[in-house]
Chain A
Amino acid sequence: MKIELTVNGVARILEVEPEERLLDVLRERLHLTGTKEGCGEGECGACTVIMDGKTVNSCMVLAAQADGHAVTTIEGLGNRGSLHPVQKAFLEEGAVQCGFCTPGMVLSAKALLDRSPHPGKEQIAVAMSGNLCRCTGYDKILRAVERAAGEVKE
């Protein structure tokens, strides 16, 4: 079947299989491998992308369901020359260890700050609770989100 979607600002027309997931479209067809697969069942958040402003687990979205929508992946956020403030904060706080969870974490934080620029600690934790990390203990990730929100108190 044919779908039309916008990925990182670029319009795409793709022929996909009915059972194909948005995650497969991004990784296998578009080679946007910054979106990771950690569980394939909507539990880990490694595959988080932003669809029409809201985060979704792309392993739980069929390609067909993305038809007509706008998707932002980690590749659409920033580059070495101009990092997104969330990416910059993750670097500066040391919130990256193995980095497998990082793209999903960054996108969840971005979506939160887009809809709520000055979130409280509680709100940050709830917004990030769908993203698992096995390395960092989340401590520096929370600090990074607070920093990105301009709320870090030294």
Chain B
Amino acid sequence: MNGTVGGTVGGTVGGRVLREDAWGKVLGQAAFPADVRREGQIYAVAVRSPHAHARIRGLKLDEARKAEGVVAVLTSADVPHNGHGVLYRDQPVLVQDHVRMAGDPVVLVGAETLAEARTAAGLVEVDYEVLPGLFDPEEAMKEGVPALHPEIHGSTNIVYHLPVCKGNVAKGWAEAEVTVERDYQTQMLDHAFLQPEAVLAYVDERGHLVVEVATQYAHYDRGEIAHALGLKFNQVRVKTVSVGGAFGGREDISLQIMAALMAWRTLRPVKMENTREESFHSHSKRHPMRMHYKTGATRAGKLTVLEARIVGDAGAYASWSPNILRKAAIHATGPYEIPNVRVDAYAVLTNNPYTGAMRGFGAAQPVLAYESQMDLLARELGLSPMELRLRNICRVGSETATGQVLTGSVGMEECLKAVKSYLGEVSAR
């Protein structure tokens, strides 16, 4: 009915079709999780560790429990299966004794109003024994350094290592006439989606747990909630409302299990909303990566060899780190054919905020390294950046560093040609 405003709707595949939900969004009707409410709802607030690494010696909850409006104060003892995670369940719903990052949730307070929940949360006393932390992945990966997750990840903090080996690097260096070698570093980033995490959880008329949330993957959330609470999948309904951006930052569980737990225990609808600050302290981040790159080429401008070492800071929990560093290793060459390659990529656990999926997923950070190397090589060779790339890009039939032959759509050359006119005369400095 609303499909024809201004007549810009047209065609089907290939058409500039307008998104149906845009009407609700320009009118302010689209409901994000903070916008949904239910009669009789209470509010829950998490008490999070200010310390990056600590043992919990004890909790004092009496004051909080007695505070005005408080309905329940929950701890790890209330969680049937206290773990979640996309690859490993190494992240606690509520920390029992070992805090591994600042922002780890320890106690969950539920009260009639948000203000009462926050006040009561302020009355929770956690006795922390602060431990020395591991903040540098290069340090954390050394032998003999205490492991942060001995039960799940063994005696090392290296949660993942992938070598990618192709051809013979010695041969590649013998053929190389020009070499560029540099260290690169990318920073930790936040997704900064505009809608802070929020959730509404309640037990419905069937006795099923319903969780209304903005997530990237409702079925994953359902599995983690059901597992943590010891329920069957069919007893848990995750219902996605409007999602205010995600970019990877809504892959891992944030408030879903805590709100579900509070609702299951109190049989009241439970609302949780992160402030922007809580959002920063609680969801995953983009992996900072240190990348050592050494690239060789012939005078004729053909790449002969790449050696690279990439270390990604996984932070306190594995999340998607193995997959992300794998992706970094596999994409480390850039879209170029290089016959001789040795890449080593590592994901290392530390006591920094945990890192996980973010737009680009490990294929983003190496772009800084491989494209800087290309420009530096072009300068050494007296070629334009465009020309050096054209001599090395992947085309149909090219073989990647993992030995994969690209047989289908490989539009790299078309893309380069399409932007060529915008490059103008880049000075050959």
Contacts and interface: CB of A to CB of B under 8 A. Distances in A.
**A contacts B: CB pair < 8 Å:** yes
Interface of A: 27, 31-41, 44, 46, 73-75, 77-80, 83, 87-88, 90-92, 94, 96-103, 106, 132-135
Interface string B16-33: 101101111111111110
Contact of A74 (B8, B28, B194): B28
Interface stretch (B70-78, B87-95, B102-110, B240-248): B240-248
A38 B28 contact: no
Nearest to B192: A134
Given A38-B195, A83-B5, A98 B243 contact: yes
A134 B26 contact: no
A91 B194 contact: no
Given A37-B196, A134-B193, A98 B242 contact: yes
Contact of B276 (A32, A33, A39, A101): A39
Given A98-B193, A100-B194, A135 B245 contact: yes
Given A99-B30, A102-B26, A88 B6 contact: yes
B27 A98 contact: no
Contacts of A77: 27-28
Contacts of A100: 32, 193-195, 242, 244-245
Contacts of A35: 28
Contact of B2 (A80, A134, A135): A80
B35 A33 contact: yes
B27 A132 contact: no
Contact of B21 (A39, A99, A103): A99
- Scoring A35, A98, A102, A103 by chain B CB atoms within 10 A of each residue's CB, the highest score goes to A98
A15 to B, nearest CB: 15
Nearest to B196: A38
Given A78-B27, A92-B18, 17 more contacts: A33-B35, A34-B29, A74-B26, A74-B27, A80-B27, A90-B22, A91-B26, A94-B19, A96-B19, A98-B193, A99-B22, A99-B25, A99-B30, A99-B244, A102-B25, A133-B194, A135-B194
15 contacts: A32-B28, A36-B34, A73-B28, A75-B27, A90-B26, A94-B18, A96-B19, A97-B245, A98-B193, A98-B194, A99-B22, A102-B25, A103-B28, A133-B194, A134-B245
B275 interface: yes
Taking chain A's interface residues, is the majority helix, strand, or loop, or is none over half, making it mixed?
loop
The 8 A-B residue pairs with the shortest CB-CB distance, nearest first, are A34-B28, A99-B25, A74-B28, A100-B244, A33-B35, A87-B26, A96-B22, A100-B195
Interface residues on B, range: 35 or more
Contact of B5 (A38, A92, A96): A92
A41 B276 CA distance: 9
Interface in B168-203: 191-196
Given A78-B27, A106-B26, A92 B194 contact: no
Given A34-B29, A41-B276, A78-B27, A101 B16 contact: no
Contacts of B28: 32-35, 73-75, 77, 102-103
A102 B244 CA distance: 10
A153 to B, nearest CB: 16
Given A38-B196, A134-B192, A92 B6 contact: yes
- Scoring A31, A37, A79 by chain B CB atoms within 10 A of each residue's CB, the highest score goes to A37
Contacts of A38: 194-196, 276
A134 B194 contact: yes
- Scoring B8, B24, B26, B193 by chain A CB atoms within 10 A of each residue's CB, the highest score goes to B26
- Scoring A31, A77, A102, A132 by chain B CB atoms within 10 A of each residue's CB, the highest score goes to A102
A41 B6 CA distance: 37
A46 to B, nearest CB: 6
